Amino acid sequence: MTRRILALIGVGVLGGFLSGTFGIGGGILMVPLLIWLIKLDQRHAAALSLAAVLPAAIVGAVTYGFELHVDYIAGALVAAGGIVGALIGTRLLRRLPLGWLRWMFVVLLVLVAVRMLIVVPETDASIDITVWSVIALIGLGLLVGIASGLFGIGGGVIIVPALVGLFGVSELIAKGTSLLAMIPTSVTGTISNARARLVSPLDGFILGVAAALAAYPGVVVAHLMPTLVSHILFAVLVLFAATQLAIRAWRMRKQEN
């Protein structure tokens, strides 16, 4: 039990730090670590990770907000779509085979890493609100919500590159807005998972508190780190996680056959 608690704290600290540094929920790396260290399957790891995303996202969003690095309108629009998407994603999480979930998560990681490497950050600080941008932001939220519920991620790995590459906002604004948007999405998905008994409240609490405490130092690092370095480091981390998960998924496939 002690070893499990220490492992949860370690995973939470890493996930929270990455949440603040890169504007993500941290689930993109917490899920693989929960599978490796806690020996959870893909379904339960995703549910537990999503529960821990919430406190880390709140701390990160508040910190970025104090620095005026949050676009509240854009965040609200993405969140609106994310709530609906999270309900869809958590339903799929309960129904899709574990083999599918493993490989879909690996593909998501690779796409995220590639996207982070090819996106060129812009310098504009806000999004022009038009009919088309409103539709696009809600659509982005829907996509993020589905990924959030299905894979246990906050969705920042999708939101940040999209806001930077498609909407032309600055790196810090994209990170702060991303963390704001994932708060209601995480709440919706976690409630759904809790009702389905996919997540332990105690494990979620330990993981979430550790993530929240580590989120603020991550934000400090984000302000000090050059944008290009941030993109490259994040892409490398994600590719490493994808490689390890692909190896594990292949081994599990052989065992199941």
Buried b (16+ CB within 10 A) or exposed e, 75-87: bbbbbbbbbbbbb
Residue pointed to by tokens 């005026």: 68
- Write out the chain's pLDDT in tens, 257 residues: 788 889 899 988 988 888 788 776 667 778 888 888 888 887 888 888 888 888 888 888 898 888 888 889 999 999 899 888 888 877 877 777 767 766 776 777 777 677 767 765 555 556 777 888 899 999 888 887 887 777 666 677 778 777 877 777 877 888 889 889 888 888 888 888 888 888 888 888 898 899 889 888 988 888 888 877 877 887 787 777 677 667 766 766 666 55
Nearest to 80 by CA among 8, 136, 164, 20: 136
- For the entire predicted model, the pTM comes to 0.73
Residue 88 confidence (pLDDT)? 84
Domain locations in the chain as residue ranges? 2-256
Q: In 10 A of CB 195, how many CB atoms?
A: 10
CA distances from 26 to 143, 155, 242, 257 (A): 18, 9, 14, 32
Q: Give pLDDT tens digits for 214-231.
A: 888 988 888 888 877 877
Phi first, then psi: give them for residue 199, nearest 5 degrees.
-135, 140
Residue 223 to residue 236: CA distance in whole angstroms: 20
Please name the helix (run of DSSP H) or strand (run of DSSP E) that holds residue 117, with its range, or none: helix 98-118
Residue 89 to residue 193: CA distance in whole angstroms: 10
Tokens of 124: 């504009």
Q: Give pLDDT tens digits for 83-141.
A: 888 888 778 777 777 677 667 767 777 776 777 677 655 555 567 778 888 999 998 88
Q: In 10 A of CB 139, how many CB atoms?
A: 14
Give 3-state DSSP helix, strand, coil % of the chain, rounded to 5: 80, 0, 15
Residue pointed to by tokens 């519920």: 149
Residue 32 to residue 47: CA distance in whole angstroms: 12
Crossing angle (nearest 10°) for helices 98-118 and 27-37? 140
Residue 197 confidence (pLDDT)? 84
Residue 152 confidence (pLDDT)? 63
Tokens of 174: 């994209």
Q: In 10 A of CB 173, how many CB atoms?
A: 26
